[in-house]
Amino acid sequence: MKKINLFIVLVTFFAMNLSAAVNDPVKPSAKLRAEILQLIDVECNYMNLSNDYCTAEVLFTINNHNEVVVISVNSPIPNAEKHIGSKLNYKKVNLNGNKQGVFYLLPIKIINQS
Protein backbone atom coordinates (compact mmCIF):
# COMPACT_ATOMS: atom_id res chain seq x y z
CA MET A 1 0.00 0.00 0.00
CA LYS A 2 2.87 2.37 0.78
CA LYS A 3 4.38 1.72 -2.66
CA ILE A 4 1.13 2.64 -4.39
CA ASN A 5 0.85 5.88 -2.39
CA LEU A 6 4.47 6.73 -3.16
CA PHE A 7 3.90 6.04 -6.86
CA ILE A 8 0.83 8.30 -6.90
CA VAL A 9 2.76 11.11 -5.20
CA LEU A 10 5.64 10.79 -7.67
CA VAL A 11 3.30 10.83 -10.67
CA THR A 12 1.59 13.93 -9.27
CA PHE A 13 4.91 15.77 -8.84
CA PHE A 14 6.00 14.76 -12.34
CA ALA A 15 2.75 16.06 -13.83
CA MET A 16 3.08 19.37 -11.95
CA ASN A 17 6.66 19.88 -13.16
CA LEU A 18 5.72 19.01 -16.72
CA SER A 19 2.87 21.51 -16.78
CA ALA A 20 5.08 24.26 -15.30
CA ALA A 21 7.78 23.92 -17.96
CA VAL A 22 8.33 26.89 -20.26
CA ASN A 23 6.98 26.28 -23.75
CA ASP A 24 9.16 27.07 -26.73
CA PRO A 25 9.61 30.85 -26.84
CA VAL A 26 8.61 32.69 -30.01
CA LYS A 27 10.13 35.68 -31.80
CA PRO A 28 8.46 39.01 -31.06
CA SER A 29 6.93 40.98 -33.91
CA ALA A 30 9.09 43.60 -35.63
CA LYS A 31 7.14 46.41 -33.96
CA LEU A 32 7.51 44.90 -30.47
CA ARG A 33 11.22 44.23 -31.11
CA ALA A 34 11.81 47.85 -32.15
CA GLU A 35 9.96 49.14 -29.10
CA ILE A 36 11.97 46.91 -26.74
CA LEU A 37 15.32 47.80 -28.34
CA GLN A 38 14.45 51.46 -27.93
CA LEU A 39 13.80 50.87 -24.22
CA ILE A 40 17.03 48.89 -23.72
CA ASP A 41 19.41 51.37 -25.41
CA VAL A 42 21.82 48.83 -26.90
CA GLU A 43 24.68 51.31 -27.25
CA CYS A 44 26.34 50.82 -23.88
CA ASN A 45 29.54 52.72 -23.12
CA TYR A 46 30.07 51.48 -19.58
CA MET A 47 30.05 47.70 -20.11
CA ASN A 48 33.78 47.58 -20.96
CA LEU A 49 33.41 45.28 -23.94
CA SER A 50 36.60 43.70 -25.25
CA ASN A 51 35.11 43.52 -28.77
CA ASP A 52 33.13 46.03 -30.81
CA TYR A 53 29.91 44.27 -29.87
CA CYS A 54 28.48 41.42 -27.86
CA THR A 55 25.30 39.41 -28.19
CA ALA A 56 22.64 38.64 -25.61
CA GLU A 57 19.39 36.70 -25.57
CA VAL A 58 16.49 38.10 -23.57
CA LEU A 59 13.66 35.79 -22.53
CA PHE A 60 10.58 37.77 -21.51
CA THR A 61 6.82 37.73 -21.32
CA ILE A 62 4.11 40.39 -21.23
CA ASN A 63 1.76 40.52 -18.24
CA ASN A 64 -1.91 41.52 -18.18
CA HIS A 65 -0.98 45.21 -17.69
CA ASN A 66 0.96 45.20 -21.02
CA GLU A 67 4.26 45.37 -19.12
CA VAL A 68 7.40 43.49 -20.10
CA VAL A 69 8.60 40.98 -17.49
CA VAL A 70 12.20 39.81 -18.04
CA ILE A 71 12.63 36.12 -17.26
CA SER A 72 16.34 35.79 -18.05
CA VAL A 73 19.22 37.37 -19.95
CA ASN A 74 21.86 35.09 -21.44
CA SER A 75 25.06 37.01 -22.20
CA PRO A 76 28.80 36.70 -21.53
CA ILE A 77 28.77 40.28 -20.19
CA PRO A 78 28.34 40.29 -16.40
CA ASN A 79 26.51 43.66 -16.31
CA ALA A 80 24.15 42.87 -19.20
CA GLU A 81 21.47 41.18 -17.10
CA LYS A 82 21.37 44.03 -14.61
CA HIS A 83 21.34 46.71 -17.34
CA ILE A 84 18.69 45.06 -19.50
CA GLY A 85 16.54 44.14 -16.50
CA SER A 86 16.58 47.67 -15.11
CA LYS A 87 15.79 49.23 -18.50
CA LEU A 88 13.10 46.76 -19.53
CA ASN A 89 11.36 45.22 -16.51
CA TYR A 90 7.77 46.42 -16.01
CA LYS A 91 7.87 48.97 -18.83
CA LYS A 92 4.61 49.30 -20.76
CA VAL A 93 4.56 48.30 -24.42
CA ASN A 94 1.98 48.45 -27.18
CA LEU A 95 0.70 44.91 -27.71
CA ASN A 96 -1.06 45.12 -31.12
CA GLY A 97 -1.08 41.53 -32.34
CA ASN A 98 1.11 40.11 -29.56
CA LYS A 99 -0.32 37.92 -26.83
CA GLN A 100 -0.04 38.23 -23.08
CA GLY A 101 1.56 35.31 -21.25
CA VAL A 102 3.55 34.10 -24.26
CA PHE A 103 7.31 33.67 -23.78
CA TYR A 104 9.37 35.66 -26.27
CA LEU A 105 13.06 35.20 -27.07
CA LEU A 106 14.81 38.32 -28.36
CA PRO A 107 18.41 38.11 -29.58
CA ILE A 108 20.14 41.48 -29.39
CA LYS A 109 23.56 42.92 -30.20
CA ILE A 110 25.15 45.27 -27.66
CA ILE A 111 27.41 47.80 -29.41
CA ASN A 112 30.58 49.24 -27.88
CA GLN A 113 30.54 53.01 -28.45
CA SER A 114 33.65 53.92 -26.41
Give the count of beta carbons closer than 10 Å to the beta carbon of residue 36: 22
pLDDT at 19: 47
pLDDT at 60: 92
Q: Rounded to an integer, what distance in angstroms lies between the CA atom of residue 107 and that of residue 91?
A: 19
pLDDT along the chain (114 residues), means of 10: 67 54 76 87 57 82 89 84 86 78 87 66
Q: Does domain 24-111 have CATH number 3.20.20?
A: no
Q: Where are the domains of the chain?
A: 24-111
- Give the type of residue at 60: F
Q: What is the DSSP string of 9-30?
A: HHHHHHHHHHHHSPPPPBPPPH
What 8-state DSSP symbol labels residue 114?
A: -
pLDDT at 57: 92
* Whole-model pTM over 0.85: no
pLDDT at 58: 92
